[in-house]
Amino acid sequence: MPTLHALCRAVSPAMLDCELSFIGREPIDLALANTQHNAYVKALRALNVEVVELPAEAALPDSVFVEDTVLLFDELAVMTRPGAQSRRAEVASIEAAFSAHREIIARIFEPGTLDGGDVLQIGKRVFVGLSQRSNQAAIEQLSACLTPFGYQVIAVPMQDCLHLKSAVTALSDDTVLINPDWVDVDYFKDYQQIYVAKSEPHAANLVRIALTASTSSASDMESILMPANFPETEVLIRAAGFALHTVDVSEFQKAEGAVTCCSVLFYV
């Protein structure tokens, strides 16, 4: 049976120079960021995820946010072309890491730009945020890559946040956690919806750990990893019956990251 793996990359010593789009710059405690990253990796391992760790990229400030560089499907990998010029060089080493795991490697090419943070896969549906980082050209390229494998690619307008997964992520195959101020909830009308607490607009980003590739009848194999600083939203998720684990990612939040960004999940 395929097992769940996560690719992570250590924090760049240059993270203080990260890209910021919708939040202001605050001092980042690099030592604390390293401690938090270690705790994040430990939490994944405690949830039975096989973690592969890459060394830090000293010259690439945002390179801890590996999610933006590649999309992993069971059938293929799609190497992205990140929307921020400063992030394009992150892709090469990730492609090298994944070439052993997927025979088919597709690529987003100019004029397409795509960040993995804008891509939310739920079953055979692939929602892609039309954001400051990801454009229509990339969505069309992605659709051409995925349609032969039976996926439906759906472009989703959004506003006021960096990535689609800042605004919505999946708790399960039939439930999403969503901030209705940042994305039109009608795009997700086929799913049960839990809204983030009004006072916690950034709370919608969480990692769904589904230990088996076919998850619909395996709820005991599922858990959720979310940031520790959204207590009101945490209560709502627990009340809906989801098993939840929290990690402190304050230093990554200052870099406009969150929990999904720090790993790429895939089955081997």
- Residues with catalytic annotation? 163, 261
Which one of residues 211, 257, 259, 263 is an interface residue with ligand GLY (CB under 6 A)? 257
Q: Does 118 bind ligand GLY (CB under 6 A)?
A: no
Distances (CA, A) of 113 to 128, 158, 221: 12, 16, 34
Which one of residues 19, 29, 75, 184 is an interface residue with ligand GLY (CB under 6 A)? 19
Residue with tokens 């307008």: 157
> Which residues pair with residue 193 across a beta bridge?
176
Q: Minimum Å distance from CB 92 to ligand GLY?
A: 17
User: Which residue from 213, 214, 237, 212 is spatially nearest to 225, judged by alpha carbons?
Assistant: 237
First to last CA, the chain: 9
Q: Minimum Å distance from CB 88 to ligand GLY?
A: 12
86 by DSSP, 3-state: which? helix
Start-end of H helices in 61-189? 91-98, 136-146, 164-167
Dist CA 142 CA 70 (whole Å)? 12
Q: Does 18 bind ligand GLY (CB under 6 A)?
A: yes
Q: Does 17 bind ligand GLY (CB under 6 A)?
A: no
* Binding segment (CB under 6 A) for ligand GLY, from list 23-31, 32-40, 226-234, 255-263: 255-263
Write out the binding residues for ligand GLY, residues 39-78 only, by CB under 6 A. Answer: 62, 65
Going residue by residue from 21 to 40, which x/- string records binding to ligand GLY, judged by CB under 6 A?
x-------------------
* Binding segment (CB under 6 A) for ligand GLY, from list 37-45, 106-114, 229-237, 251-259: 251-259
User: Which residue from 39, 31, 2, 38 is spatially nearest to 15, judged by alpha carbons?
Assistant: 31
* Binding segment (CB under 6 A) for ligand GLY, from list 43-51, 153-161, 226-234, 249-257: 249-257
DSSP label at residue 197: P
Dist CA 42 CA 162 (whole Å)? 27
Write out the binding residues for ligand GLY, residues 78-97 only, by CB under 6 A. Answer: 84
Q: Minimum Å distance from CB 56 to ligand GLY?
A: 15
Chain positions contacting ligand GLY, by CB under 6 A? 18-19, 21, 62, 65, 84, 255-257
